Structure 1
Amino acid sequence: MDDSHPREDRNFDDLADRFAKSIYGTTKGRIRLALLTEDLQENLPGLYGGDRPMEILDAGCGMAQMGCELAGKGHRVHFCDLSERMLELAGSMASEAGVTERCAFYHGPFQGFITGKEGAFDVILFHAVLEWLVEPKASLEALVGSLAPGGSLSLMFYNVNCLIHRNAILGNFRKVMSGEFGGFSRSFTPLHPLDPAEVEAWVADMGLTVTRKTGVRVFTEYMRKDVLNDRSYEDTLEVERAHCRKEPFASMGRYVHLLCRKGED
């Protein structure tokens, strides 16, 4: 393991088990995974029935649901996470899915893992990681360098617009007016929520073209718990799907997913 990574980047060892239960064991988590999967299926059909296996990097893989699904399609998936516990959960999921032979696991910072791997990956998954980094733009730029010409980046990040809107609805006006939206220790609110317009400008400067933009949970993030519990998952997903790729909703989700393609040159 390379020990030269920024020490301040968030390590989820202390939250891994809460993460497993709270993020994907809920309607909100299922909606998140469903919308991300749709974006990949509809825009990168080669992932789900192509002629050749691809090299895929899941950077900051967490529990690795999506990466394991892609390994099941015959691709080679490299899982990287700073959290040893998260990587253990990812390994268990790969074992349960029967795809371990197509998976490689790296415990450490992705910044160290990608060193010397320029243009190595056909697809990079980078989901809910950028907002936890001390140097998000520089780290993203390094990651893009490891993407092959013509390759695709699936980038999902925590949206500051949602945080502002939700705090205003709840009457937390002091928080809204302070401009300080970072979370605290042991919170699922990241230290650096991001502005979608700013991130879109970053990826354009890095030579990437956004092929799809999706707001992840553009309504469910603002719904009262009793209303959300009273509606079926299927109906909730349907209303999300009908609006999440249109503005202004796409820029109001809890997360924003940008599917980006790198130029051939």
Structure 2
Amino acid sequence: MNDSHPIEDRNFDDLAERFAKNIYGTKKGRIRLALLGEDLVSHIPELYAGERSLSILDAGCGMAQMGCDLAGRGHRIHFCDISMRMLELAEGVAEAAQVSGQCAFHHGRFQTFVEEKGGAYDLILFHAVLEWLVEPKASLETLVSALAPGGTLSLMFYNVNCIIHRNAILGNFRKVMSGEYGGYSRSFTPINPLDPLEVESWVADMGLSVIQKTGIRVFTEYMKKDLLKSRNYEDTLEVERAHCRKEPFASMGRYVHLLCRKGE
């Protein structure tokens, strides 16, 4: 069997510590969280108004930083992850933030959790998960079924355009022309990097309207490591922020964030 094409959704038990260090604990990780947070602030003001508690599902929660921040604002958060190790790290983040009382942690596939528990969530966070699934569209449909009428889906996924662009400018033409863009075992490149236009068509077919499209790391993903390191975080974020929500840049980031609203 070719392990670059697993028959099961990716479980990150074996990569949890590397993710914590290389994804969340970097300048790139800070930029990612900052831009996601700005989208939520701009389009879901009730998250931060403190007027009522919302019901939120963080599906494939990872270390749950954003969900724990929202729990600290009085919202009730359900965290679900197939990786027990990632869920343990998330519980640690919740304890450190003193928000454990607002959180419930569920180990297992989010698809199974939704099918068994149902629910009508005001907000579903689905960040950097879709591209690791064997059946991304069907899994997304299952998740959307748990979204309340008028609710919001925060969907961030790994952008195949970024893989093509990066490999082309590095001269990896064979990779570009092969059409095979999935990663290998223990790689941070996902099994199903996605085309933003295709995902946008999916969510439209599911009765969702896109209210914000944002490219996450539209410039920093292409910068040399030494150059990126030499630039301070504030300036880097400012440049990203100035361009990430307009085309063509919104479709060129490492990730694309679609903030989607379900019809009433």
Match of 2:134 in 1: 134
Match of 1:251 in 2: 251
Specify the SS of the correspondent of 1:150: strand
Per-residue deviation, 1:110:
0.2
The root-mean-square deviation of aligned C-alpha atoms, in Å, is 1.0
- For 1:69 and 1:130, how far apart are their aligned partners in 2? 22
Per-residue deviation, 1:204:
0.3
- Structure 1 length-normalised TM: 0.96
Give yes or no for the alignment of 1:217 onto 2:220.
no
Match of 1:87 in 2: 87
Q: Is the 8 A contact 2:8 2:133 kept in 1?
A: yes
Specify the SS of the correspondent of 2:174: helix
- For 2:7 and 2:162, how far apart are their aligned partners in 1? 28
Give the AA of the match of 2:165.
H
Specify the SS of the correspondent of 1:115: helix
Alignment length (residue pairs): 259
Give yes or no for the alignment of 1:18 onto 2:5.
no
Runs ≥4 residues deviating over 6 A? none
Q: Is the 8 A contact 2:183 2:189 kept in 1?
A: yes
Match of 2:238 in 1: 238
Specify the SS of the correspondent of 1:152: strand
Is the deviation greater in 66-75 or in 224-233? Answer: 224-233
Q: Is the 8 A contact 2:50 2:73 kept in 1?
A: no
Match of 2:71 in 1: 71
Q: Is the 8 A contact 1:117 1:146 kept in 2?
A: no
Per-residue deviation, 1:225:
1.2
Match of 2:3 in 1: none
- For 2:12 and 2:61, how far apart are their aligned partners in 1? 11
Per-residue deviation, 1:50:
3.9
Aligned pairs (5 A) from 1:170-181: 170-181=170-181
Q: Is the 8 A contact 1:126 1:153 kept in 2?
A: yes
- For 2:118 and 2:104, how far apart are their aligned partners in 1? 18
Specify the SS of the correspondent of 1:23: helix
Match of 1:3 in 2: none
Point out where structure 1 has 5 or more consecutive residues left out of the alignment: 1-5
Match of 1:30 in 2: 30
- For 1:117 and 1:49, how far apart are their aligned partners in 2? 28
- For 2:133 and 2:101, how far apart are their aligned partners in 1? 31
Aligned pairs (5 A) from 1:126-205: 126-205=126-205
Point out where structure 2 has 5 or more consecutive residues left out of the alignment: 1-5
Match of 2:110 in 1: 110
Residues 45-65 of structure 1, C-alpha deviations (whole Å, 9 max, x = no match): 101114210110000000000
Residues 130-159 of structure 1, C-alpha deviations (whole Å, 9 max, x = no match): 000000000000100000000000000000
- For 2:115 and 2:138, how far apart are their aligned partners in 1? 14
Specify the SS of the correspondent of 1:157: strand
Match of 1:57 in 2: 57
Is the deviation greater in 111-120 or in 41-50? Answer: 111-120
Match of 1:39 in 2: 39
Identity of aligned residues (%): 78
- For 1:235 and 1:180, how far apart are their aligned partners in 2? 35
Give the AA of the match of 1:109.
R
- For 1:24 and 1:91, how far apart are their aligned partners in 2? 16
Residues 217-238 of structure 1, C-alpha deviations (whole Å, 9 max, x = no match): 0000001112111111000000
Give the AA of the match of 1:202.
W
- For 1:50 and 1:160, how far apart are their aligned partners in 2? 38
Q: Is the 8 A contact 1:218 1:252 kept in 2?
A: yes
- Structure 2 length-normalised TM: 0.97
